Structure 1
Amino acid sequence: MELYDVSEFWKFDLRVGLVRKAEKLRRTKKLIKLDVDFGTERRTIITGIADQYSPEELEGRKFIFVLNLKPKEFSGVKSEGMLIVAETEEGRVYLLPVPEEVPEGTKVW
């Protein structure tokens, strides 16, 4: 395992976001398009977990997202962040929900 100075970690902007809407991205097997509310802004974020979770399992729930990544396009849709999940060596993905009382946009560290 490679070790990093803690200053590297602080470069990432991790925030709590509420998934307002989630829908499977057409013509793909694993991609879900999320409309995420961060309190002061909303972003579109694409996540590749549709093989293990349905859009309905994500809507109305809060999760942690990385916001300061360069935008990337998936199937013609620009993703403006990344959903944080846990993944086993076998590829099983686990959602990491945030308690309801944590406000959207709260910084995570």
Structure 2
Amino acid sequence: MSSTATIQDFDRLDIRVGTVVDAQPLEGARKPALALEIDLGPEIGIRRSSAQITVHYAPLKLIGRQVLCVVNFPPRRIAGFESEVLTLGLPDSDGEVVLIRPDIAVPNGGRMF
């Protein structure tokens, strides 16, 4: 278990909901990954994310799915692709990523609290 965090630590993370509008295999990645475009609402717009989620998710089945993303990390370059947000997930029993999403549709851009 990690050290205790404060509410101020949590408040520094900007976690928003968005809808996947495009998903493609990420060519050149060392591990299989998808390049996602996620609509995070009018305030943030569409942002890109690289996600190692190919075990459970086919690109076309992701389009229209809402996901949670950290939007205030600095961008990372992955296989020549600029990943602007971190798409959040949890490990299944084999350690493969399962995406976190709301169970009821909510407006894109909503901040997690």
Answer whether contact 1:62 1:100 (CA < 8 A) is retained: no
Relative to the length of structure 2, the TM-score reads 0.86
Shift of 1:108: 0.6
Count of residues in Structure 1 that have an aligned counterpart in Structure 2:
109
| Cα offset, 1:100, TM superposition | 5.0
Corresponding residue for 1:34?
Answer: 36
Q: Tell me which residue corresponds to 1:51.
A: 55
Shift of 1:53: 2.0
Alignment of 1:66-77 (within 5 A): 66-77=70-81
Q: Which residues of 2 match residues 1-109 of structure 1 at below 5 A? A: 1=1, 2-28=3-29, 29-40=31-42, 41-88=45-92, 90-99=94-103, 101-109=105-113
Give 1:6's aligned amino acid: I
Distance 1:104 1:58 in 2: 15
Runs (5+) with no aligned partner, structure 1: none
Unaligned runs of 5+ in 2: none
Q: Scaled by the length of structure 1, what TM-score is found?
A: 0.89
C-alpha distance in structure 1 between counterparts of 2:105 and 2:63, whole Å: 16
Root mean square deviation, CA, Å: 1.6
For 1:5, give the aligned amino acid: T
Contact 1:45–1:80, Cα closer than 8 Å, also in 2: yes
1:42 CA drift (Å): 0.7
